[in-house]
Amino acid sequence: MRVISGTAKGRPLKAVPGTGTRPTTDKVKEAIFSMIGPYFSGGWVLDLFAGTGGLGIEALSRGMERAIFVDMDRKSIEVVNDNLRGTNLTERAEVYRNDAGRAVKALAKRKACFELVFLDPPYRLRTASEIMMSLQELSLLNDLATIVVEHDAEHQYEDRVGDCVCTKRTEYGESAITIYRYERRTDNEESTSV
């Protein structure tokens, strides 16, 4: 695994030891960024089930200003920190060991707001919809934020989750990527659409 493009292009990324973490392959990562970018001019990114931190690091390398990485696994947190050091991106990142639900609430208390969110929960959980609703209810998404969900290809997420609208879905073997755009509706729009 490596950083594909941007300021840290070509830097190798460590994997999390063991079989509990399924890193996003370089091929899938490249496809994701060709769909959502490929480059950015600032903004904050949230890598909520960070694993190796590969997606958030790629976003930083491609121009996002700051990233927050969250994972429950101690080994993952160590690997994310190692990968940030190896790419010289430590100063633009925050890394937390926490449960996704608690992390989202803590970020809301800080009034954090994200332009880009990566959700790659363990495939068996299938909790991305609930997390997207929490991100909206707690005002953690900027208008037109992009949410990238990596999940089991056998599972299909809804076309719309609150004000998050599916813009693309692609499959790569056993994995699928579903991309949402946050399009907050005003009260007027809600009343006229009834």
Q: Report all structural domains of the chain as residue ranges with CATH numbers, in order of start.
A: 26-143+150-192 (3.40.50.150)
- The H-or-E segment that residue 167 falls in is strand 164-172
- Alpha carbon dihedral 154, 160, 161, 166, in 10-degree steps, equals 70
pLDDT at position 122, please?
84
Global pTM reads 0.93
Residue spans of the chain under pLDDT 50: 191-194
Residue 93 in tokens = 């990142």
> What's the pLDDT tens digit per position in 78-129?
999 999 999 999 999 999 999 999 999 999 999 999 999 999 988 788 889 9
